[in-house]
Structure 1
Amino acid sequence: METAEYVYDSYANSGNLADEIDILRRSMTEVFLREMSFTSEPVIEISRLLDIKINEYMKQALIAR
C-alpha cells in the first residue's frame, strides 16, 4: 500500500510548492481511483499532506504581498 510519505518523498520534493501541490493532487486522484474510496488511509494521508502544502503556499503568497 502506498503511503503519503512515500508519494511525497518519491515525487513531490521538488522545492517548488506549486509543483509539489500539483504532484500531490495527481497522486491523490490516482490513489483514489485505485482504492475507490475517499476514506481509504492512503487517500486521507495524501490529502493531509496536500493540505499542508496548500497552507504553506498560501502563507508564502501572503508574505510576498
Structure 2
Amino acid sequence: PDELIERMKSVPKERQAEEGIRICVETIQRLREIPGVRGIHIMAIEWEEKVSEIVKAAGLLPRPQP
C-alpha cells in the first residue's frame, strides 16, 4: 500500500530495517484481530534470522491458546 511505502520513505535509511520489522509486527497484530484467522506464515527472505525477533515482538510466543 502507498501509505506503507511513504512510511518507509520517511524513515532514515539506517532505521528502515527496524521500521520494516515494526510494520510486520503491526500487521500481525491486526491479523490476529480478524475472526477466523488461526495462523500466519512469516517469510523473511534472505533475512531469516529476524523471524524470531518478529515472532517475539508480535507476542506469538508462547503460542496462544485456542
Q: Which has the larger helix fraction? A: 1
TM-score, length of structure 1 as denominator length: 0.40
TM-score, length of structure 2 as denominator length: 0.40
Structure possessing the higher radius of gyration over alpha carbons: 2
Work out which structure has the larger RCO, using CA pairs closer than 8 Å and 6 or more positions apart in sequence.
1
